[in-house]
Amino acid sequence: MLDIEDILATHRMFEENRLDVRTVTLGVSLLGCIDRNGETMCQKIYDHICRVAENLVPTAEAI
């Protein structure tokens, strides 16, 4: 459960420190990763995410 003091402390961080929080999301279809073998499928998912997201950090920093 959220404590009121934690909520107020977070609010103070935003107000006093001008805290700026931004989120970047990446939509990824994993349909092409389907495989009968679980280990193979996990490797396909890992490889696909790494390939699709390889420019995510530079793109987010550019924004």
pLDDT in tens, 8-52: 998 888 888 887 778 889 999 999 999 999 999 999 999 999 999
Please give the pLDDT value at position 39: 98
In a domain, 37, yes or no: yes
CA–CA distance, 22 with 58 (Å, rounded to integer): 15
Residue 15, in any domain of the structure: no
pTM of the predicted structure, to 2 decimals: 0.63
- Residues 6 or more apart from 22 whose CB is under 8 A from it? none
- Domain range spanning residue 43? 24-63
Cα separation, 27 vs 22, in Å, equals 17
Q: Is residue 17 part of a domain?
A: no
In a domain, 34, yes or no: yes
Number of structural domains found in the chain: 1
Q: Which of 50, 53, 44 has its CA nearest to residue 24? A: 53
Q: Please, what sign has the CA dihedral across residues 53, 58, 60, 63?
A: negative
Structural domain contains residue 51: yes
